[in-house]
Amino acid sequence: MDNLTISFFFFFFFCSSVVHGLLRFNGGSGEFKILQIADMHYADGKTTPCEDVFPDQMPWCSDLNTTAFVARVILAENPDLLVFTGDNIYGPDATNAAGSLDAALAPAIASGIPWAAVLGNHDQESTLTRQGVMQHIVGMENTVSLLNPPDGADSIDGFGTYNLEVYGVDGTNFSDKSILNLYFVDSGDYSTVPIIPGYGWIKPSQQQWYKNKAAQLKSKYGAAPGVAYFHIPLPEYAKVNPSNIVGVKQEGISSPVYNSGFFSTLAATGDVKAVFVGHDHLNDFCGQLTGINLCYAGGFGYHAYGKAGWSRRARVVSVSLGKTDAGTWATVKSIRTWKRLDDDNLTAIDDQILWSP
């Protein structure tokens, strides 16, 4: 535990970068790096015990292990954007939702790195409503999260469906163009239809917003690849061939019973090249279906079900630019991903190229 505490304070002391302006590709490396953190399940800090760790870890393991992992992986990767894909707090065990959110997201805020979040199915089960949780998030420092998009917010179901644009390198021909489009979607919590059990789903209003937004972006900037982040996997995750994945599938796909057709919407629209979710903590695979990569992050938090001896993990996405004939940075040439394990060396595994034009 001493080493974890040291890592935590080391992080807070040395990370002091400040968010300025638009999201933009790095002019030195031609890269934009996203760190996905799924299912922290944060509750009440040091009094909240871990789940599914070895017995000898239980006396000292708590939410603070999750906090330390966030700090360590941010230091290791130095991403351009942090993305929290739901079940950020575990409502049933969080006695104060606002306090739990503040503690869970403290390393992100301290880093000065822009961060975005969506909700899972447990975030609203404490002392704040689902809307209240998202309102608290959008009021926090350094966040680029939105309660809902300014265009049509009143007509969109849920809380936390929005997009972010990532601009080309400053000083190039693409400095005023979004050349990578990020979509964040509230995938809901539980079905409110009595005859349909289980989890919620992405609603028609959200799908229409996505189609409209993708068309607007294409009209304004030209065609650009996109990626999408939400919490609950689509039913199509179950159709991915398990013999053709990178990573592991160690549990069933906990998708909605009702298929609202969002995968078909993504495929027909054509810009989203990869989808990243959480929810099923023991799955961390990427597999392709109809040209779209369907990826899990793997469980991150220690107060969440897992598997003793199977390291908690985070997913990294690195988007790299090509160059023009003149040698300046151009548009996206590849989308690559890997995972970081919470072990002694923060081991990187399963490096793969998801997309290249």
Model pLDDT, residue 21 = 53
Max distance between CA atoms of the chain, in angstroms, equals 61
Helix, strand, coil share (%) of the chain residues, nearest 5: 25, 25, 45
Around 304, how many Cα atoms within 13 Å sit in the side-chain half-sphere?
Answer: 30
Q: What domains, with CATH codes, occur in the chain?
A: 2-355 (3.60.21.10)
Round to whole Å and give the CA distance between 326 and 160. 41
Selection from 146, 269, 131, 144 nearest residue 208 by Cα? 269
Q: Which amino acid is at 203?
A: K
Model pLDDT, residue 8 = 43
Q: Which residue has the tokens 């040291």?
A: 6
Q: Which amino acid is at 237?
A: Y
Say what the pTM is. Answer: 0.94
Round to whole Å and give the CA distance between 249 and 237. 11
CB–CB of 37/81 below 8 Å? no
Give phi and psi for 160, each to the nearest 5. Answer: 105, 40
Give the chain's residues under pLDDT 50.
1-20
Q: Order of strands across the sheet with 178-184?
A: 162-167, 178-184, 226-229, 272-277, 292-296, 286-289, 245-246
Q: Could you give the 3-state DSSP secondary structure of residue 91?
A: helix
DSSP state of 242: G
Evaluated on CA atoms 316, 176, 266, 243, the torsion sign reads negative
**pLDDT tens digits, one per residue of 143-172:** 999 998 877 667 899 999 999 999 999 999
Within its chain, how far is the Cα of 238 from the centroid?
Answer: 20
Round to whole Å and give the CA distance between 242 and 246. 9
